[in-house]
Protein backbone atom coordinates (compact mmCIF):
# COMPACT_ATOMS: atom_id res chain seq x y z
CA UNK A 1 0.00 0.00 0.00
CA UNK A 2 1.39 3.37 -0.99
CA UNK A 3 0.18 6.73 0.28
CA UNK A 4 1.05 10.38 -0.15
CA UNK A 5 0.84 12.84 2.70
CA UNK A 6 -0.10 16.45 1.98
CA UNK A 7 0.40 19.00 4.75
CA UNK A 8 -0.09 22.66 5.52
CA UNK A 9 2.48 24.14 7.88
CA UNK A 10 2.97 27.52 9.49
CA UNK A 11 6.05 29.70 8.95
CA UNK A 12 7.98 27.74 11.59
CA UNK A 13 7.36 24.36 9.94
CA UNK A 14 4.74 23.16 12.43
CA UNK A 15 1.94 21.15 10.81
CA UNK A 16 -1.54 22.67 10.79
CA UNK A 17 -3.49 20.30 8.56
CA UNK A 18 -2.96 16.93 6.86
CA UNK A 19 -4.57 15.07 3.98
CA UNK A 20 -3.71 11.54 2.83
CA UNK A 21 -4.18 10.30 -0.73
CA UNK A 22 -3.29 7.09 -2.50
CA UNK A 23 0.26 7.04 -3.84
CA UNK A 24 -0.71 7.08 -7.52
CA UNK A 25 -3.09 10.06 -7.14
CA UNK A 26 -1.90 13.43 -8.44
CA UNK A 27 -0.84 16.19 -6.05
CA UNK A 28 -3.69 18.30 -7.42
CA UNK A 29 -6.18 16.22 -5.42
CA UNK A 30 -4.39 17.02 -2.16
CA UNK A 31 -4.10 20.66 -3.12
CA UNK A 32 -7.83 20.93 -3.81
CA UNK A 33 -8.69 19.19 -0.52
CA UNK A 34 -6.48 21.46 1.59
CA UNK A 35 -7.38 24.71 -0.17
CA UNK A 36 -10.15 25.56 2.30
CA UNK A 37 -7.87 24.91 5.30
CA UNK A 38 -5.28 27.50 4.29
CA UNK A 39 -4.70 30.13 6.99
CA UNK A 40 -4.10 33.78 6.20
CA UNK A 41 -0.62 34.03 4.78
CA UNK A 42 1.44 36.14 2.42
CA UNK A 43 3.19 33.30 0.61
CA UNK A 44 2.57 29.67 -0.25
CA UNK A 45 5.67 27.53 -0.74
CA UNK A 46 5.10 24.26 -2.58
CA UNK A 47 7.03 21.91 -4.84
CA UNK A 48 6.57 21.35 -8.57
CA UNK A 49 3.79 18.82 -8.04
CA UNK A 50 1.41 21.62 -7.09
CA UNK A 51 2.07 23.70 -10.20
CA UNK A 52 -1.32 24.29 -11.84
CA UNK A 53 -2.95 27.46 -13.10
CA UNK A 54 -6.20 26.80 -11.22
CA UNK A 55 -4.24 26.38 -7.97
CA UNK A 56 -2.26 29.58 -8.54
CA UNK A 57 -5.50 31.45 -9.31
CA UNK A 58 -7.19 30.07 -6.17
CA UNK A 59 -4.24 31.18 -4.03
CA UNK A 60 -4.27 34.68 -5.51
CA UNK A 61 -8.02 34.95 -4.87
CA UNK A 62 -7.27 34.26 -1.20
CA UNK A 63 -4.58 36.95 -1.23
CA UNK A 64 -1.68 34.47 -1.10
CA UNK A 65 1.29 34.80 -3.45
CA UNK A 66 2.38 31.42 -4.82
CA UNK A 67 6.07 30.51 -4.70
CA UNK A 68 5.88 27.33 -6.76
CA UNK A 69 8.41 26.45 -9.46
CA UNK A 70 6.93 25.42 -12.78
CA UNK A 71 6.86 21.85 -14.00
CA UNK A 72 9.58 20.87 -16.41
CA UNK A 73 6.97 20.06 -19.06
CA UNK A 74 5.51 23.59 -18.91
CA UNK A 75 5.80 25.45 -22.22
CA UNK A 76 6.19 28.92 -20.65
CA UNK A 77 8.40 29.09 -17.54
CA UNK A 78 6.89 30.53 -14.37
CA UNK A 79 8.71 33.14 -12.32
CA UNK A 80 9.08 32.48 -8.61
CA UNK A 81 11.24 33.83 -5.80
CA UNK A 82 14.16 31.38 -5.64
CA UNK A 83 15.52 32.83 -2.42
CA UNK A 84 12.17 32.45 -0.67
CA UNK A 85 11.70 28.97 -2.13
CA UNK A 86 14.83 27.79 -0.28
CA UNK A 87 12.87 28.16 2.97
CA UNK A 88 10.74 25.18 1.89
CA UNK A 89 13.34 23.03 3.66
CA UNK A 90 11.35 23.64 6.86
CA UNK A 91 8.54 21.58 5.38
CA UNK A 92 10.94 18.78 4.46
CA UNK A 93 12.38 18.90 7.99
CA UNK A 94 8.84 18.53 9.37
CA UNK A 95 8.28 15.39 7.26
CA UNK A 96 11.65 14.05 8.41
CA UNK A 97 10.80 14.58 12.06
CA UNK A 98 7.47 12.81 11.59
CA UNK A 99 9.36 9.85 10.12
CA UNK A 100 11.45 9.64 13.30
CA UNK A 101 8.40 7.85 14.66
CA UNK A 102 8.90 4.32 13.44
CA UNK A 103 5.18 3.65 13.17
CA UNK A 104 4.77 6.57 10.76
CA UNK A 105 7.94 5.87 8.74
CA UNK A 106 7.21 2.19 8.10
CA UNK A 107 3.42 2.52 7.86
CA UNK A 108 2.60 -0.40 10.15
CA UNK A 109 -1.09 0.46 10.08
CA UNK A 110 -2.82 -0.71 6.91
CA UNK A 111 -6.05 1.10 7.70
CA UNK A 112 -5.80 4.75 6.55
CA UNK A 113 -7.83 5.97 9.53
CA UNK A 114 -5.49 4.34 12.06
CA UNK A 115 -2.42 5.57 10.17
CA UNK A 116 -3.82 9.11 10.11
CA UNK A 117 -4.45 8.90 13.87
CA UNK A 118 -0.85 7.81 14.49
CA UNK A 119 0.34 10.65 12.27
CA UNK A 120 -1.77 13.20 14.17
CA UNK A 121 -0.48 11.87 17.49
CA UNK A 122 3.13 12.10 16.32
CA UNK A 123 2.63 15.66 15.04
CA UNK A 124 0.99 16.74 18.28
CA UNK A 125 3.77 15.34 20.46
CA UNK A 126 6.63 16.54 18.25
CA UNK A 127 5.46 20.04 17.43
CA UNK A 128 2.77 21.20 19.84
CA UNK A 129 3.63 19.75 23.29
Structural domains present in the chain: 3-128 (3.30.420.10)
Sign of CA dihedral 50, 88, 8, 25: positive
pLDDT of residue 108: 84
Tens-place pLDDT, residues 93-116? 999 999 999 999 988 888 889 999
pLDDT of residue 1: 60
pLDDT of residue 67: 95
Q: Do 8 and 16 contact (CB within 8 A), yes or no?
A: yes
Q: In the chain, where does DSSP find H-type helix?
A: 27-34, 53-61, 82-85, 89-98, 102-106, 112-123
pLDDT at 29 over 80: yes
Amino acid sequence: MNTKLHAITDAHGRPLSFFITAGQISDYTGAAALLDDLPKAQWMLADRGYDAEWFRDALEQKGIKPCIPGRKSRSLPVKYDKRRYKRRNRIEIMFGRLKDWRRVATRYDRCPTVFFSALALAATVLFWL
